[in-house]
Amino acid sequence: SDLHLTAEWVTASHETHGIPLAAPGEVYLWLDRDAHHVRLPRLEGGTAMRSWQLRQAAPVVAACFDRLTLHARGVALDDVAVAFVAESDAGKSTLAWELVKAGADPLADDLLPVRFAADIVVPPETPLTHVCFLQRASSAMTLAPLDAAAAMQRHLANGFGEPGEASAWAFQFDAYHHLTGGVAHFGLTIPDDRSRLDDVVAWLPDALRAA
Single-letter residue type at 73: R
Whole-number Å distance between alpha carbons of 126 and 122: 6
pTM of the complete model: 0.83
Write the CB contacts of 121 (distance below 8 Å, at least 6 apart in sequence): 114, 115, 127, 128, 178, 179, 182, 183
Single-letter residue type at 158: N
- Residue 133: how many other CB atoms lie within 10 Å: 25
Write the CB contacts of 78 (distance below 8 Å, at least 6 apart in sequence): none
Higher-confidence position of 204 and 44? 204
pLDDT confidence of residue 46: 87
Contact 185, 70 (CB under 8 A): no
Specify which residues 9 forms β-bridges with: 40
The pLDDT-based confidence of 25 (bands split at 50, 70, 90) is low
Helix (H) or strand (E) holding 207: helix 197-210
The pLDDT-based confidence of 82 (bands split at 50, 70, 90) is very high
Tell me the pLDDT tens digit for each residue of 179-206: 999 899 999 999 988 889 999 999 999 9
The pLDDT-based confidence of 43 (bands split at 50, 70, 90) is confident
End-to-end, the C-alpha distance of the chain in Å comes to 33
Tell me the pLDDT tens digit for each residue of 105-159: 998 888 888 888 776 777 767 889 999 999 988 778 999 999 999 999 999 888 7
Backbone angles phi, psi at 85, to 5 degrees: -105, 130
Backbone angles phi, psi at 19, to 5 degrees: -85, 125
Distance of CA 124 to the CA centre of its chain: 14
> Is the confidence at residue 79, as pLDDT, over 70?
yes
> CA torsion sign, 126 to 98 to 157 to 61?
negative
DSSP H helices, 65-142, are 92-101
Rg (CA), the chain: 18
Single-letter residue type at 27: V
> Is the confidence at residue 166, as pLDDT, over 90?
no
